[in-house]
Structure 1
Amino acid sequence: MQVSNVMLTIAKISVPDIPLLPGDPQVSPLSGCKLKWKRQWLWVSPTQSNPTKTLPALQNEQWFKECLVHSPIRAVYLSPDLDEPTLKAWMNTCECAGKQAFLRLPSITLPQKRYRWAWWIKRSLDWVVASLLLLLLAPIMLLLALLIRLDSSGPILYRQWRVGRRGKLFRVLKFRSMIDGAEQLHHQVMGSQPGLHKLKSDPRVTRLGGWMRKYSLDELPQLINVLRGEMSLVGPRPWALYDAVRIPRKECSRLNALPGITGAWQISGRSKLFDLETVNYLDLEYLRNWTIQEDLRILLMTIPRVISGVNAY
C-alpha cells in the first residue's frame, strides 16, 4: 500500500484505503496486484492471498491511469505469474498512460551479445528489406484493406499484444481475418485445448480471412513492426499472451528474444505445429545456432511454403 499511496500523492490525488467488496463486478483486475516502486520503474506481482483492502485507484483503471500519467515512472515490469486478464488490464492501462510495459523474465544469452557485427548486419537488412517490401506490396495491401472493408464490419487492422525483445510488450499488426470482437470469444472457442491456441476450422474466421491466412497475407502489416524495431524478418515465434502464460517457467527465458515474421516453426510445420514444447525447442535451437546464413535459409524455405498454402490456417 505504501508505494500506491506515494503514487497517488505525486498524482495529486489523496484518498484513504477502502474495503474491497467481494464479488464486486466493477473491481478492476489491477486490484489483486502488489506494487513495488524502484526509482523510475514499477514492479507488479500477484498478491499471495485475496486482499481484504485495496487502494481505490487500483479498483478503477481510468483512475490508476491518471496516477501513472502524473508519476515519474517510465516503465512497468509485470510478473509472468499474473494471469492473462490481469496482464491485459495492465498493458492497456500502460498504453493509455504512455508508459512502456515489460514482462519480467529470467536472463538468457542472445545472439546480439555473441555476434555484435553480424547482428548489426541482420538488423540493417531487416530495415532495408522491410522498407522495400512495403513499397512493392503497397498496392496489394491497399487492395486487401478494401476487400476486408467490403467483406465484414470491423477495423481493417487487428492489433494484438505480443511478447517482444527483453520482455517488451508490443502490439503486433495484422490484417483482420476474424469477425469483429473475436478476441473476446477466444477462450470460449478454444476451451481447454492443449498446446498452441489454433483451430483448423475456427468459426470466428471470415471467408476472406481464411483465404488470407492460407497464404499468410494477413501478416503483411508486420513489416511495419519490423521497421519499428519490434520484430525481425526471421526470429522465434512472437507469442500471444494466452500462449505465453502457459510456457513453463524454466523456459520463459526464450521470450527475451526478438521475434520474427517467419522462423524455424514456420518451415517445420506452420499451423500444423501445435505442441508448445516443440515450438520452444525449435526457437531455442535457432537462438543457440544463429547465423546470418541460417536466416537466409529460413527466408528461402518460407517462400515456397507460403505460396503453396500447405498447413496454414
Structure 2
Amino acid sequence: MTTSIIPTLKNLYDVTQEQQDNRGYCTLQWRRGKLLVKPLGQVKQPYLPSLNSKRSLVECLQHSPVSLVSIDPKLGEALLRFWADACEEAQKPIFLSIPVSKKLSNQPFWRLIDWIAASVLLLLVSPIMLGLVVLMHVYSPGSIFCRECRVGERGKLFQAIRFRTQNTTLLGRSMRKFSLDNLPQLFNVLRGEMNLTGSRCWTLEDAVRQLNKLPEIKASWEVEAQSHLLNLDSQTL
C-alpha cells in the first residue's frame, strides 16, 4: 500500500509559521478516481506542500482526475468543513465514510414524490419568500442566505440553504419561531440533497459525534484488493 500525507491545519484560513511547524497529519489514499482522506496511519511520508491552504487544495482538485472524495469522520469537524468547502468550490462530490447501516437512502419513487411536492410548495410560498427578502433588505441589511453543512444520502456532504436570521430583531425571532428561515431548503429538495419525507439529514456536528462512537469505519470499496492503490503526489492531484 502506498500512501501520502498532508498536514492538518489548526487554523484553516489564517495559518502562522509557528502553527505550520506544529501540525498533525492525515493520510491520503488514491484508488480509481476516488480519494480517501483518513487519519494518520503507520507509514509517514513527506507531506504535499501544495495542500497547505484551501485555495491550493481547490486548485489541486480542479486539475486532478478525482471524481469523488471520501473522508473519515475521525478527522474532526474542522478538517471536514475545510475539505467540504474546498470540494464544493472545486465541484467535486465529498462523502463521509460511514457504515452501510447508517447511510440514508431514498427510493426513486419517494424521490419523485419529494421533487413534485417541493415544486408545488415553492410555487405556493414564493410570495412569502419574496416578502421576507424585501423585509430582510429593509430591517436586516446584509447577506440574505446562509449555508450549513449537512450529511445526506450515502453520507454525501452538502450545503443546506437557509435565510439568515438575527435573534436580536423581531423579524429574525419571528422567522425562527415559525421555521420560515428553512423555506430555501426546498431548493435542496429539488436538487435531491434533502427529503421532505423519511429520515432527517444529520448536521456535520451531529454526524461527527455519532460516528466517532462507532468501531473503525471502512467503505466497501476500501477493503478491496490493495493492488490498485496508486502513489499520490503533487503532480497527480
Specify if TM > 0.5: yes
Q: 1:132 to 1:104 in 2, by over 3 A?
A: same
The 5 Å alignment of 1:155-194 reads 155-178=143-166
TM-score when normalising by structure 1: 0.58
Counterpart AA for 1:47:
L
Query: How much is the aligned-residue C-alpha RMSD, in angstroms?
Result: 3.3
- When the two structures are aligned, how many residues end up with a matched partner? 207
- Compared CA separation, residues 33 and 251, structure 1 to 2 (3 A): closer
The structure whose residues are more often helix, as a share, is 1
Give the aligned partner of residue 228 of structure 1. 191
- What is residue 66 of structure 2 aligned with on the other side? 73
- Deviation by residue 1:174-225 (Cα, 9 ceiling, x = unmatched): 11113xxxxxxxxxxxxxxxxxxxxxxxxx6643221111111111111111
Mapped contact 1:31–1:55 kept (Cα < 8 A): no
1:238-249 pair list within 5 angstroms: 238-249=201-212
Structure 2 unaligned residues grouped into runs of 5+: 10-14, 216-237
Q: Which residue of 1 aligns with 2:92?
A: 99
1:149 pairs with 2:137: yes
| Structure 2 counterpart of 1:129, one-letter code | A
Separation in structure 2 between the aligned mates of residue 136 and residue 222 of structure 1, nearest angstrom: 14
Query: Separation in 1 of the partners of 2:67 and 2:125?
Result: 37
Q: What secondary structure does 1:244 align onto?
A: helix
Which letter maps to 1:226? V
Q: For 1:8-157, list aligned pairs within 5 A.
A: 24=17, 27=20, 32-47=25-40, 54-108=47-101, 119-157=107-145
Aligned-pair identity (%)? 44
- Matches of 1:111 and 1:59, distance apart in 2: 33
Name which of 206, 211, 221 aligns with 2:174: 211
Residue 62 of structure 1 and its aligned partner are, at CA, apart by 1.4
Tell me, yes or no, if the aligned pair for 1:31 and 1:58 is still in contact at 8 Å: no
Segments of 5+ residues of structure 1 without an aligned counterpart are: 6-16, 114-118, 179-203, 253-313
Cα shift at 1:46: 1.9
The 8 Å contact of residues 105 and 153 in structure 2, kept in 1 or not, is answered as: no
Structure 2 CA distance for aligned equivalents of residues 90 and 98 of structure 1: 12
SS in 1 for 2:88: helix
Q: Structure 1 residues 206, 24: closer, same or farther in 2, change over 3 A?
A: farther
Q: TM-score, normalised by structure 2?
A: 0.75
Shift of 1:120: 3.5
**Which is bigger in relative contact order (C-alpha 8 A, separation at least 6)?**
2
Residue 163 of structure 1 and its aligned partner are, at CA, apart by 0.3
Counterpart of 2:27, as a letter, is K
Q: Take 2:46 and 2:16, find their aligned partners in 1: how far apart are those partners?
A: 14
2:17 maps to a residue whose letter is D
8 A contact 1:27–1:60 mirrored in 2: no
